[in-house]
Structure 1
Amino acid sequence: MIKRVHWTVEPDREPDAKRTMYAQECDVCGEGSPRGADEDEATQWIFRHVRNNPSHNSYTEIVKRGWRAWMRQS
């Protein structure tokens, strides 16, 4: 007999979940901010970087967030 199951995935908000980490990366030179739990600190890195590199005006946000998969009861 085969049982059909439904899986759900969602961001992990359990007390033991890994902390969400943020970073920014310059799309022009590839230099990046340190990874950290403070999203604003990663964003502030852009201002420091662009001050020293005025032509570097394109960035990518990098977010590392834990997810959890669980089986729903039918």
Structure 2
Amino acid sequence: MSGPRAIVRHVQWTLAPNHEPDAEPQTYAMLCVVCGETSATAEDWGAPQGWALSHSGRNPSHRSYRELITRPWRTWMDP
């Protein structure tokens, strides 16, 4: 009677942005670091940046922002 056996194989993995046809889109948003308010998320960076300019216009002391980018990534085993 033989016991359990294990086969271990070491493989190299690669990680890169996902550009496959079914990948989620890359999205952008802006966060006001003064008050924590966030723009809507968009696939184009122009709308969130416009929101930040408008937000500063309504709140002149709010001058610091953080860009929030969501980029899909994927992994695969190298041959």
| TM-score over 0.5 (shorter chain) | yes
Q: What letter is aligned with 1:60?
A: R
Counterpart in 1 of 2:46?
A: 40
More strand as a share of residues: 1
The structural deviation recorded for 1:19 is 0.5
Structure 1 residue identity aligned to 2:48: A
Q: Counterparts of 1:69 and 1:43 in 2: how far apart (Å)? A: 31
Q: Radius of gyration: which is bigger?
A: 2
Percent identical pairs in the alignment equals: 42
Residue of 27, 41, 44 corresponding to 2:33: 27
Structure 1, unpaired ranges of 5+: none
Moved over 6 A (4+): none
Q: Number of matched residues?
A: 73
CA distance in 2, matches of 1:39, 1:71: 32
Which runs of no fewer than 5 residues in structure 2 stay unpaired? 1-6
Q: TM-score, normalised by structure 2?
A: 0.88
Aligned to 1:49: 55
- Alpha-carbon distance between aligned partners in 2 of 1:50 and 1:26, rounded to the nearest angstrom: 9
